């Protein structure tokens, strides 16, 4: 196949005219689709409706150890809920503290606590001259929003097929005491779908930070979000690796059921060393007298254990997989070999990461929006919203229906072609 770069000027101008006409026709269709966030579809949310039947006025509201879930207390969460989230993360229940409905809340609280009260009794970050965070990119925009909110300087770290570029990570962490943390989505990363290699995880565990209050923020959001039954990624468990390397306190690991049960009404947790958890409890005890244990009980009653989670996630995959496959098929059919784009083919998670020609991402997103399809803003996957190449676009296939996804994919490839040809003929 001939790449667009190999076209003559006349051929490109003729193609541009053809694409302009097609784009005008697409705008007349009046599409109104929102693909700006990685949201579960209604069909996915329907999978968990029976959970609501596991707790009613005649259901025992007490756990095996006698805890009355209707009352105060239980700061760490129900033992059964700690065990369930521990199974998802692959850590002992004793290392888990169950929070509310959003792991982002726990992450935000840890950053805020570190700013005002330091890390495990260290000097508060707000009293230190400079605070920096490493941000593997493309990455999760809401992570960057948290550190940006506290005016923490964010340093972009390039992503590779094995995870963050560890040579860059090691150079910053081991030589700059102002570097206090790094954001990580270690499995089916947002948005590339990359899973960290064993070597990458071991190099994280072996870090020797210049700052004693350095922490790895290990957001294992897609730990069980496989697209396929037999072709799945697995990663090393970071807490035990850090402990083996002699750095048991260096990591916080997060997970939630937001994309397993109900988005906004799931449960979440943090796994960490005893020292880290003890320090967290001091301030959490000021914030609450106990979490929503009834919601935890609903989840425990419904899923029961990891086998229940696994069976449930296969149902999710059956809904989500065809949408991913439809997008990838359209990209392959329409854009492969043209020299204007590349994209990831993840085995799990919620996103496809798309790389357009340099300088074209914002224009592609604008064209899509103008024709009725809203995508995540170009640059959102980079700190400060600044993609230096203006090339990355996050595609979120889960929320639209199959028919809507087909329409959106057709418009997207049209906009990619049009923006690319406009750039080449500018």
Instruction: Find, among 39, 358, 107, 59, the residue nearest to 254 by Cα.
Output: 107
C-beta atoms surrounding 308 within 10 Å: 15
Query: Using one digit for the tens of pLDDT, what is the confidence trace for 43-58?
Result: 999 999 999 999 999 9
- pTM for this prediction: 0.96
| Per-position DSSP letters for 325-380, written without gaps between them | HHHHHHHHHHHTTSSSEEE---SBSS-EEEEESTT-HHHHHHHHHHTTEEEPPTTT
Residue with tokens 């000021």: 286
Instruction: Find, among 114, 52, 41, 422, the residue nearest to 280 by Cα.
Output: 114
Report the interhelical angle of 402-425 vs 361-370 (nearest 10°): 130
CA distance 145 to 136: 14
Instruction: Find, among 393, 397, 380, the residue nearest to 142 by Cα.
Output: 380
CA distance 260 to 351: 16
29: tokens are 């269709």
Query: Using one digit for the tens of pLDDT, what is the confidence trace for 334-366?
Result: 999 999 999 999 999 999 999 999 999 999 999
Residue 35: per-residue pLDDT: 87
- The residue-averaged pLDDT of 297-315 equals 98
Residue 292: per-residue pLDDT: 96
Query: Using one digit for the tens of pLDDT, what is the confidence trace for 67-103?
Result: 999 999 999 999 999 999 999 999 999 999 999 999 9
Q: Is the pLDDT of residue 208 over 80?
A: yes
* Exposed/middle/buried for residue 61 (C-beta within 10 Å: 0-12, 13-18, 19+): middle
Instruction: Find, among 111, 79, 113, the residue nearest to 287 by Cα.
Output: 113
Residue 341: per-residue pLDDT: 98
Query: Using one digit for the tens of pLDDT, what is the confidence trace for 148-180?
Result: 999 999 999 999 999 999 999 999 999 999 999
Percentage of the chain surpassing pLDDT 70?
A: 100
What sections of 28-132 are H helices per DSSP? 42-46, 79-89, 103-117
Residues facing residue 136 across a β-bridge: 157
Residue 402: per-residue pLDDT: 87
Residue 333: per-residue pLDDT: 97
Which domains occur in the chain, in start order? 4-44+310-425 (3.90.1150.10), 61-304 (3.40.640.10)
> How confident is residue 34, by pLDDT bands cut at 50, 70 and 90?
confident
- Strands (E) in 250-351, as ranges, are 251-256, 268-271, 341-343
Using DSSP, state whether 91 is helix, strand or coil.
coil
- The residue-averaged pLDDT of 136-158 equals 98
Q: How far is CA 197 from CA 168, 278, 354, 373, 420, in A?
A: 16, 31, 22, 35, 34
Using DSSP, state whether 54 is helix, strand or coil.
helix
The sign one gets for the Cα dihedral 361, 5, 336, 138 is negative
Residues facing residue 156 across a β-bridge: 135
CA distance 235 to 184: 13
Q: Is the pLDDT of residue 300 over 80?
A: yes
- Whole-number average pLDDT of the chain: 97
* Residue that wins the pLDDT comparison between 252 and 121: 252
226: tokens are 């496989």
Q: How far is CA 194 from CA 206, 235, 380, 420, in A?
A: 21, 11, 18, 26
């Amino acid at each position: 196949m001939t790449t667009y770069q190999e076209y003559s000027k006349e051929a490109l101008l003729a193609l541009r005219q053809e694409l302009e006409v097609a784009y005008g026709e697409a705008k007349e269709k009046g599409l109104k689709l929102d693909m700006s966030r990685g949201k579960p579809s209604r069909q996915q949310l329907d999978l968990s409706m029976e959970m609501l039947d596991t707790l009613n006025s005649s259901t025992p509201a007490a756990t095996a150890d006698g805890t009355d879930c209707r009352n105060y207390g239980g700061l760490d969460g129900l033992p059964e809920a700690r065990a369930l989230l521990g199974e998802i993360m692959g850590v002992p229940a004793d290392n888990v503290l169950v929070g509310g409905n959003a792991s982002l809340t726990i992450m935000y609280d840890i950053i805020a606590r570190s700013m005002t009260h330091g890390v495990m009794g260290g000097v508060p970050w707000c009293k230190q001259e400079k605070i920096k965070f490493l941000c593997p990119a493309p990455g999760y925009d809401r992570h960057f929003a948290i550190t940006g909110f506290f005016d923490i300087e964010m340093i972009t770290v390039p992503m590779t097929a094995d995870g963050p570029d560890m040579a860059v990570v090691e150079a910053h962490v081991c030589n700059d005491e102002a570097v206090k943390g790094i954001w990580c989505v270690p499995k089916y990363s947002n948005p590339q779908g990359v899973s960290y290699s064993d070597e990458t995880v071991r190099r994280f565990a072996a870090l020797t930070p210049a700052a004693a209050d350095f922490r790895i923020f290990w957001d294992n959001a897609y730990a069980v979000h496989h697209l396929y039954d037999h072709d799945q990624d697995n990663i090393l468990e970071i807490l035990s690796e850090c402990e083996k390397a002699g750095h048991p306190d260096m990591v916080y690991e997060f997970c939630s059921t937001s994309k397993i049960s109900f988005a906004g009404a799931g449960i979440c947790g943090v796994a960490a060393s005893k020292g880290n958890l003890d320090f967290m409890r001091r301030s959490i005890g000021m914030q609450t007298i106990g979490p929503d244990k009834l919601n935890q009980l609903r989840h425990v009653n419904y899923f029961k254990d990891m086998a229940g989670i696994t069976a449930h996630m296969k149902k999710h995959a059956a809904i989500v997989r065809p949408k991913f496959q439809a997008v990838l098929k359209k990209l392959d059919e329409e854009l492969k070999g043209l020299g204007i784009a590349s994209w990831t083919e993840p085995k799990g998670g919620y996103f496809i990461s798309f790389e357009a020609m340099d300088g074209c991402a914002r224009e592609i997103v604008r064209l899509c929006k103008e024709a009725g399809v809203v995508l995540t803003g170009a640059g959102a996957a980079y700190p400060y919203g600044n993609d230096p190449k203006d090339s990355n676009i996050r595609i979120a296939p889960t929320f639209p229906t199959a028919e809507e996804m087909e329409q959106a994919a057709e418009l997207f490839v049209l906009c990619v072609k049009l923006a690319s040809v406009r750039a080449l003929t500018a």
